[in-house]
Amino acid sequence: MDNIKHIICIASGKGGVGKSTTAVNLAVALSHIGHPVGLLDADIYGPSLPIMMGVKPGTRPKIRDQKFMLPIVAHGVECNSMGFLVDEKTAMIWRAPMIISAFNQILKDTAWSDLDYLIVDMPPGTGDIQLSLAQSVRVSGAVIVTTPQDVALLDARKGIEMFIKVDVPILGVVENMSTHVCTNCGHEEAIFGSGGGDKLAADYGVEVIGRLPLDLLIRERTDAGNPMVAADSTHAASKAYLQLAANVVAQIKRNEITATKGPTITVTND
């Protein structure tokens, strides 16, 4: 995996906050602004990448040298997922060691091209997959996805704490479903509350790097396998994802500059 410059985790403490939708559109947005991008679905139990990226059911990765899987390219993004390897109706009734082994194989035995970014759509929670990834490869940072309400924020805190403990930098917080604009009257309303993402970011000294709308088109186009950014890059929702991509790139560059500066040594006469 030496040909991958940056591995970025898209994570949340709980399911249902739009983490996978964010990961898919972020990957397409990074590709849209000119970066070679890969997308890895790390949710072994409930892979959703094949549907979201519009990959035809039954599509399987080709095998090279009887070992390496060639990623499937969709919307300009290299992809791999457990969903490509099993039937969509198959339930993965596996214990933790089997899950970790399967994840590591998909991660390391995929013949990724020279990538600027590999986006990893993490499963919910703070379990085996998260620990395995942090311990096996160098992760450039994690993006924490949450919705503004208190229950989601509580679980998002656990996700941040987990990444801090395994020394993975937090690139920022994404407040998903931040506001909804009525299609009939244009009124904008914070259905799930407001200020939650800002408070979470402030508590951990990071930034809110994205505010994504609650929009029917996002759901419709994702379900149809045509992510918002790929379907219409000029739409307001797509612009929010493109801004998120630009913010992620900027944060990665800031972290690189900070890392190369090293400590400052001051000599005094004390």
Residues 216-231: tens digit of each pLDDT? 999 999 999 999 999 9
At 129 the pLDDT is 86
Query: What architecture is domain 4-261?
Result: 3-Layer(aba) Sandwich (3.40)
Averaged pLDDT score across all residues of the chain:
89
Tokens 């944060």 sit at which residue? Answer: 251
At 265 the pLDDT is 54
Cα distances from 106 to residues 65, 98, 141, 192, in angstroms, run: 15, 12, 20, 36
At 51 the pLDDT is 94
Asked if residue 149 lies in contact with residue 226, where contact means CB atoms within 8 angstroms, the answer is no
| Half-sphere exposure for 120 (CA within 13 Å, toward CB) | 27
pTM score, whole prediction: 0.90
At 246 the pLDDT is 97
Residue ranges for the chain with pLDDT beneath 70 = 260-270
**Domain locations along the chain:** 4-261
At 221 the pLDDT is 95
